[in-house]
Each structure stands twice: as C-alpha cells, then as structure tokens.
Structure 1
C-alpha cells in the first residue's frame, strides 16, 4: 500500500531521516518505535509532504512524493498529529465536520459522524462543547475522530497515548484495534513501545534517523536489544 524508498529529511545541518526504506502493507498495523529525536515524526510529516525531503513515496502504486498535502489526503492518507491539535474554539461537531473538508457527500459525512460517535460515545454526549474545554483523553478521541472523517485508507497516528493516564492509554489501543478491524490500515508512532508492539503486525526501530531493526511485533517484543532499550528490561 505505502512504499518508501531512500527517504531523507534534513533540517539545516541536521540529518533527521537517513535513507530509510519501509513499507506498510494494506490491512496491517505497522509501528515505528525509537527514542525522541529518532526521526519518527519527521517520517510521517514527509509522507504528508509537510517537510522538504528526498526519496520516493508511493501510495497504492502512485508516486505521491511531490503532491500537495491536500491531494495526499484526497488519495486516502490522514494523520492524527502529536499533541492532538484540535480546534479549541470550535465544538466537537465542528471539528469533525472540518475533518471531512475534502468531501462533498453530505449523506456520507453525516453517516461517518455517527460512526465516530459510535467509536467514542463521550464525544456524542458533548458534541456542542468547545474542544478546548475537553480533557486530554477526550481531545485525543476527537483528534482520531477528525482524522477518520476523511475516510482514510491509511491512518497515521503520532504518539496517540502521549500524556494520557494508563487507563486511557488502554482505551486508545482498544480503539486502534477497533479501527483496524473496520478495514483501516494504520501506521503508528508510539512512545509506549510495549503496547505498540503488541498490536503491530510489523515494526521498525529507528535510531538517529536510520532503521536499526525491523520484524514482526511479536519478534521485536522478544528481542533482547529492544527489551533493554525500549521495554525497560535488562
């Protein structure tokens, strides 16, 4: 579904992503794990053409490397950004409608809002509440719901559990699995490496902008190097 070849991202003198090759097969959950500054977020931003880059990015067989971000969204890629970034002065409902800004099918949009509410009943209860007044967990639900409103084939999630209480982290991962069961392919960046590897079909470990390891989620869970570096093992 998504193929990345020789991707490089530089910020001035900093080489943030160093010639990585990776793929996201349709129907899979693929996760990127690594320390802060490893290049994970830069990889997602490069896919959406939000940063300057070199290399080739193909989606569903089409080279999207130079497409504007709006066109990439239209092709079926959506991102839940790190830090949620909801529109604080708009209501939950208005945030969701904005998530469908590339669409014209009013009946489909209405149906998808109800689908999002079925995933996140708390949003339905508060649909007229301003997003800025929501708790961190509720804002994360809204950020995911807003991304789903573009009807993505590939949903990219950047640190969805960051800053959330442990019980909410479990809820977030249940939702990730539920969205996946609905047929959405997922590319996940997550500091909680253990949880990410448990749900992942395949995983890549990034270190200083390069891929250090890759394998199935279960393989990397058992890898002593990964355990020592990311899972709190010895």
Structure 2
C-alpha cells in the first residue's frame, strides 16, 4: 500500500532524515516509535506532502507520489491526522467534519459518511453546533480523526494521537484506531506511547536521529530486551 525508500530531508544544513526506508502492507497497522527529535513527525509530514524530500521516493498503491502536492495525495487517499489535533477552534464540530470532505462532490456519500462518523464518535453527534475549540483534548482528537475519515482515506497517517490525553481517553483512542483499521483503512502510526502502539500494530520501526535502527513484527519488538529498556519501562 505504501512505501518510503531511502528518504532524505534537509532543513538548512541539518539532515533530519538520513535515508530511511519503510513499507506498510494493505490492511496493516504499522507503528513508528522513537524518542523526541528522532524524525518521526518529519517522516509523516514528508509522506503527506507538507515537507519536500531532498532524496528518495514515496509510493502509494504502486504510484510514485514523491513530487505530488499535499492536495493531490489527499485525492489519492493518503490523509494525515496531525500532532496536536489542529482542529479549527472557532468553527463548529459539523463544519470541521465537512472540511474533511472538501475535495469531494458526492453529497449523498458525504451524508452517509457523516452518519458513519456519528456512529463511531457519538460524542461528536451530540455537539455538532459546538465550537471545536471548546471540546476536551480527547474529543478534539476524535474530531480530527473523524475529519480525516470524511476524505475516505485508503491510508491514514496518525501523529501522536494520545499526546496530552487522560488515560481513559488514551485507551478509547487506541480502540478506535484498531476499529478503523479493521473496517479497511491502512494505518501508519507515530506514537510515543510505545507500549500501546505495539499492542495494536502488526509491524514496527524504531527511529533514532533520522535513521531506522530496528524493525520487526510488533510482537518481536515487544519481546526485545533492548526495546523494553528504551521505550517500555522494562
């Protein structure tokens, strides 16, 4: 479904990504874990077209999208839920959700997908006219995910979905990610809560200072003494 090969990104004289490669099979959840500053968010921003690579390739469903615009990538089914939610605070919940479908013209399909979002996130259905900025952090994360689903993604990029959330919301968000995946959406997940990420992922990559330093099945990495010491508190 998705592949990054030898991806390099420079910010001025600093090389943020130093030739990373990873792949995500259709239907998988793949997680990218690592410390702050490892390059995880830069990887997602480059994958979604918000940063330009200085080398390497990005393919989606076999098509090279390395030079495609962010808008074109959304049209092709690659959608990101950014770190920090980034909802539009002065707009209503419904307006935020409708913005997720801004490239679509099928009104009947949009209406059906809104109903699906309300079923998946009942709290949003109760607050359609409420300003998004007045929602709790967990509710804003649900809104950001619902907004992304309104574009009908084939591939969902999730950047730190549990950041700053109460433990109760963290479990709920991870349950929702798993349900979204089981409904047919492939997921690449960046997450500092490595323990939770490895519980739901099929495959995992570990990043350090702009490089992939370890990869394997989520079960293999969960059992690794090195990973336990570095990321799982073991």
TM over 0.5: yes
Aligned partner of 1:61 in structure 2 is 62
Aligned partner of 1:198 in structure 2 is 199
Deviation at 1:117, TM superposition (A): 0.7
Aligned partner of 2:216 in structure 1 is 215
For the residue of structure 1 that corresponds to 2:6, the secondary structure is strand
For the residue of structure 1 that corresponds to 2:68, the secondary structure is coil
Aligned equivalents of 2:14 and 2:144: distance in 1? 30
Aligned length: 233
Q: Which runs of 5+ in 2 are unaligned?
A: none
- 4+ residue segments displaced more than 6 Å: none
Aligned equivalents of 1:166 and 1:57: distance in 2? 35
Aligned equivalents of 2:165 and 2:136: distance in 1? 10
Deviation at 1:14, TM superposition (A): 1.6
Aligned equivalents of 2:195 and 2:219: distance in 1? 10
Deviation at 1:3, TM superposition (A): 1.1
Aligned partner of 1:114 in structure 2 is 115
Deviation at 1:48, TM superposition (A): 1.2
Aligned partner of 1:125 in structure 2 is 126
Aligned partner of 1:81 in structure 2 is 82
Aligned equivalents of 1:133 and 1:52: distance in 2? 34
Aligned equivalents of 2:14 and 2:163: distance in 1? 25
Aligned partner of 2:179 in structure 1 is 178
Aligned equivalents of 1:39 and 1:45: distance in 2? 10
Aligned partner of 2:47 in structure 1 is 47
CA displacement 1:179-204 (0-9 Å, x = unmatched): 01110000000010000001000000
CA displacement 1:65-103 (0-9 Å, x = unmatched): 001110000000111000000000110000000000110
Deviation at 1:12, TM superposition (A): 1.2
For the residue of structure 2 that corresponds to 1:191, the secondary structure is coil
Aligned equivalents of 2:12 and 2:114: distance in 1? 41
For the residue of structure 1 that corresponds to 2:177, the secondary structure is helix
Aligned equivalents of 1:105 and 1:97: distance in 2? 12
> What's the C-alpha RMSD, in Å, of the aligned pairs?
0.6
